[in-house]
Amino acid sequence: AQTVTQSQPEMSVQEAETVTLSCTYDTSESDYYLFWYKQPPSRQMILVIRQEAYKQQNATENRFSVNFQKAAKSFSLKISDSQLGDAAMYFCAYRKTSGSRLTFGEGTQLTVNP
Amino acid sequence: DVKVTQSSRYLVKRTGEKVFLECVQDMDHENMFWYRQDPGLGLRLIYFSYDVKMKEKGDIPEGYSVSREKKERFSLILESASTNQTSMYLCASSFPDLEGTDTQYFGPGTRLTVL
């Protein structure tokens, strides 16, 4: 079975600084998808960024980028120029290429200090 | 934009009550999911449905059942609520996009307290 681990229950960053959230996963599949979801306080969870395992290039969405290390089974999220609105719970998730089920990590609570 | 709505944001029930949590999506998505979210455990899949009247157990189906009579609506049922079912319940829906990534879209969640 696939597992996803987020080893940082809480992180904090100063506004305008850069922060990296860690995620590791375990799978025997060679092709899969990885996701970072953001859950703001009392608001709906939204997709931040996704990465296809067969793509070597790291995904980027504006201030959000990932460092995907397939051999190490690592998928970290980098947030540049952190903003107060980035404060949220962040979840890393994995999905096999075939099928729709997501496996989530435990989550990392990010605090952004002004 | 995809909209996934859940019938209640907060719900308080008594032990032994039958509880219905409703989820509706407006984008004709085939797949719908029910998760529970607990601190330190992330989201765990309870059940999902890939078509009307079709369902599949997730990782923690015990004590729960589901119903999907119409494509847009997916209900989670707690037959006899227990205190260990106090949790945040999240519904999601998805449909494979052109890239095949099958992104899930989430509802706002229902925080259920069982006394």
pLDDT for position A34: 95
Mean pLDDT, rounded, for B24-52: 94
A 30-89 residues with CB below 8 A of B? 33, 35, 37, 43-47, 50, 52
C-alpha dist (Å) from residue B108 to A31, A76, B6, B31: 31, 26, 7, 17
How many Cβ atoms from other residues are within 10 Å of residue A17's Cβ? 13
| Contact criterion met (CB < 8 Å) for B102 and A106 | no
Residue A76 to chain B, least CA–CA distance (Å): 17
Nearest CA distance, B51 vs chain A (angstrom): 12
Encode pLDDT of B73-115 as tens digits.
Answer: 999 999 999 999 999 999 999 987 766 667 899 999 999 999 9
Question: Residue B76 is encoded by which pair of tokens?
Answer: 């989670």
Considering only the beta carbons, identify the residue of A45, A101, A107 that sits closest to B45.
A101
Query: pLDDT tens-digit profile of A74-111?
Result: 999 999 999 999 999 999 999 988 878 899 999 999 99
Q: State whether B103 and A50 contact (CB < 8 Å).
A: yes
The predicted-structure confidence for A26-76, as pLDDT tens digits, reads as follows 999 989 999 999 999 988 999 999 999 988 899 999 999 999 999 999 999
